[in-house]
Structure 1
């Protein structure tokens, strides 16, 4: 990316930092409500984090591929990056400390965060380099409206489909049928098969934002904020018929999260790229190695949960020994642990950036 927009880099890095924070509390049994996902319908601040990243993947595609030609070399690079992301995700899902360091095949989760990033990146990038913005709008609308129709109109095993967590939920049903025991939960996966369609739409909406940012328009931040408000209104109105739901990645969820993403990015763009205010440079450095930081945080967290220290894990021992103190609530201790983990990866990102180490996945 020869042409950099500071706000995009900061937004990407901030999103990764938040992903690390919400994924690594001291204990899952004591977490403040905003740092938990909604139980099913509805959304919390935590539910915004992953769609924010898919959104900025789309925005970054514009900068990376706006001058690329549709030749075999471009497709090869896109495919290789996709396979790397999927491979890293499968490794996280399969790794265990017991030799040969792989879980039993039946216990390996096939879908996952990195897998979804890879698949969404692949389709969003291919669509971007082959279609103009008008066609992309049509494809995005088709994905969102089509997913709504699929989820609400198609019966499941002769029973009317539901949007609740039940066997006759079409997305859940397909995940169980296709992946069997390889899902996050026995009855569904939040990064499941059918919900990949609207998650691609999330990235396409990010592409539209990227096109605005590379255009010669004036007051780009105003247009982004206005789009954000419109998306929020549409999403919340759509919620009345198609509930906002991260686990299902409903079309209303896509609109609401894209709305918030545009508003947050517009604010950062105004402060940094328009007013030139210097802040958030550490998040820019995290964004320079975004996937590396996320993968390491996930892998090390998993490793610490596997290593035994007495009757608990290394993670549990560290939390209970250092962070659980009588003078503060347990939820605060849990949050401080997560913030400490984030601080560690911010420090790591600083070192990598200073030494000009950029690990491209």
Structure 2
């Protein structure tokens, strides 16, 4: 029987809960700074959430496929899961364009969070099944250094490439010329094509941590903590020549976010799996149906933003926020956060019900 590591389930659930929290403020016009993404270079706590999930996907791949062989049946399951994730992401992207009637699909956004998870899961799983850990380290280093060299030294339209949000940014240039209008913004997409390559490295770094946790080492907490510190130091040092940037998913961003992931996971692991302290159970419930809970929150959130109610024909989202949370005695940012916490709590309740009824929806 495969060893079950409680810390991984809790970490996964915490990440999904934070995703829901930062994606559902009462109003985007009033959000506390830590719950916003960095404007461009640098990072906030919110910028850690998505790479944390890709990191834990990598860790989970180790648990799921350590005893598997690269057979046709295994590949079939990997492809099936990847296509489901990509399909769910495209469905979310198309939903706002077809509600309530079918409209022009020319503006549908192709990239997205679930699409990136699907692609990264597929490639990382294939690599894990076919390469040993030394080869995987080589692949990770090649991706990170290769991406830096490509972004920093390949000219765009005869102009030196830049890491700024500009036309001669290589990642932006690739997305604009391949995706065109199928992007989040006119000049960049945070889940674009080229930046998905280093996102694979984020997942691979999770694979290495998964291997440590499944190993027979006696000092796993110390090793994971040490790895986290090294990644943080190297990532912040690299920032001076390749800035930490979520939109570009820069190599320094990969290292820094994986560093934080290792530090946090190590602390949870020491508490729950070493010291046997019982905490974070509700996060374990969310982690058991992570993709389902995230998809529901995104789908219902979009629905609440589209359906109009009342004489003023405002969205359900706006009506709920303005009616229940906006008061003269509350700062508007606090009202916005309380709304987000309420939404998050509702999905935690959904996760709890699913877990208690032993309903686990596998994507």
TM-score interval (norm. to shorter): over 0.9
Structure-2 residue corresponding to 1:166 = 166
**Is the aligned partner of 1:262 residue 2:262?**
yes
Q: Structure 2 CA distance, aligned partners of 1:84 and 1:207?
A: 22
User: Is the 8 Å Cα contact of residues 97 and 105 (structure 2) preserved in structure 1?
Assistant: no
User: Is the 8 Å Cα contact of residues 124 and 200 (structure 1) preserved in structure 2?
Assistant: yes
Deviations 1:120-143 (A, max 9, x none): 000000000100000000000000
Distance change in 2, residues 1:60/1:322 (3 Å)? same
**Residue 359 of structure 1 is aligned with which of 355, 358, 361?**
361
Q: Structure 2 CA distance, aligned partners of 1:331 and 1:193?
A: 34
Structure-2 residue corresponding to 1:343 = 345
Q: Structure 2 CA distance, aligned partners of 1:233 and 1:97?
A: 44
Structure-2 residue corresponding to 1:68 = 68
Q: Structure 2 CA distance, aligned partners of 1:351 and 1:77?
A: 27
Deviations 1:3-49 (A, max 9, x none): 31000000000000000000000000000000000000000000000
Q: Report how far residue 98 of structure 1 moved.
A: 4.9
State the secondary structure of the residue aligned to 2:212.
Answer: helix
Q: Report how far residue 106 of structure 1 moved.
A: 1.6
Q: Structure 1 CA distance, aligned partners of 2:295 and 2:99?
A: 22
Unpaired segments ≥5 residues, structure 2: none
Q: Structure 2 CA distance, aligned partners of 1:12 and 1:96?
A: 28
Deviations 1:312-333 (A, max 9, x none): 2110000000011111100000
User: Is the 8 Å Cα contact of residues 97 and 108 (structure 2) preserved in structure 1?
Assistant: no
Q: Report how far residue 311 of structure 1 moved.
A: 3.5
**Is the aligned partner of 1:179 residue 2:175?**
no
Q: Report how far residue 105 of structure 1 moved.
A: 1.5
What's the RMSD between the two structures over aligned residues?
Answer: 1.1
**TM-score, length-normalised on structure 1?**
0.98
Deviations 1:195-237 (A, max 9, x none): 1110000000000000000000012111101110000000000
Q: Structure 1 CA distance, aligned partners of 2:278 and 2:101?
A: 45
State the secondary structure of the residue aligned to 1:60.
Answer: helix
Deviations 1:237-296 (A, max 9, x none): 000000000000000000000000000000000000000000000100100000000000
Distance change in 2, residues 1:235/1:284 (3 Å)? same
Structure-2 residue corresponding to 1:15 = 15
**TM-score, length-normalised on structure 2?**
0.98
Structure-2 residue corresponding to 1:247 = 247
Q: Structure 1 CA distance, aligned partners of 2:89 and 2:98?
A: 19
How many residues matched? 361
